[in-house]
Amino acid sequence: MLWRRGVRRIRGVEFARYGNKRLLLDVYMPSAPAVGPRPTLVQIHGGGWIAGSRLEQGIPLLNHMAAHGWVCFNADYRLSPRATFPDHLIDVKRAIAWVREHAEEYGADPDFVCITGGSAGGHLIALAALTDDDPSLQPGFEEADTSVAAAVPFYGLYDLTDSEQVQYPELREWVFERYVLKVAYADAPESYEAASPRHRVHADAPPFLVIHGDRDSLVPVEEARAFVRELRAVSTSPVFYAELAGAEHAFDIGPSVRTARVVETIERFLATMHEQARDGAPLHPDRLGSARPTPSGGDPWT
């Protein structure tokens, strides 16, 4: 899963620069020549908005997707404490805009760009998918198209205001207030709402597949359930939810049977969305095939 035959990797491509700070991405693509534009995936790493990089996250998924004919981009972004939110989100949007602008160079389809990410990356990609119409989050590239065809966040944080009161208090005090937003919630609750995917849901949201483990000890599963509930209440696009029995946070970092099954499911979901976009075919859960994660209860696809 950390290497696949028939996959070509291009390391360290610069997509943005801030002074001496270069933001890089890696490209995963089929080594065989393309007969036409290939569907495109952007991956965003986690790490609490403070750590992490493209070098150790998303690798099994990107190898699998590239082996199935996708062109994938694994992008870094500025990290706190040097970066202050929404710097992180702006960089994710810059990556999407860069991928769309340079798609032809890699045989990618600029008209079908999807996005995935876990943990802090899950938060950022969900927020990016829900705010493509907000020019304030695209300083200097306001006219760029940063919309996505589908979003797959896994074990993400979706409500920085903690409406469900399930988060550890230390998360707000030690991460958001000190290092990421750098403002107290009591002084600027509107900033926390604006940074929360749950408070940004709308009818024109793209299709979502939300994945979370029911044993997540860092981001409680109630966080994902509430986000899915709010998104389903307003979105006209499909919203699928897979809750994994016994899965912890960051379950997919290393190769495992569970990682393989989740990777296969993501590929089938995104492939189905691509087929739907291409042919106008209706989306139905059965078309995702048998590679469904084991839910903790109930049908995760309805």
Please give the structure tokens belonging to residue 258. Answer: 């569970």
SS3 per residue for 70-103: CEEEEECCCCCCCCCCCHHHHHHHHHHHHHHHHH
Letter for the amino acid at 201?
V
First-to-final CA distance of the chain: 29
Tell me the β-bridge partners of 72. Answer: 28, 41
Instruction: Give the contacts of 166 (CB within 8 A, at least 6 positions apart).
Output: 220, 222, 223
Query: Active-site residues: which are they?
Result: 119, 216, 249
Separation CA 276–CA 280 (nearest Å): 5
| Separation between Cα atoms, residue 261 and residue 286, nearest integer Å | 16
CA 167 from chain centre, in angstroms, equals 21
Nearest to 211 by CA among 261, 254, 255, 172: 261
Return d(Cα 135, Cα 139) in angstroms, integer.
7
Q: Count the Cβ atoms, other than its own, within 10 Å of residue 133.
A: 10
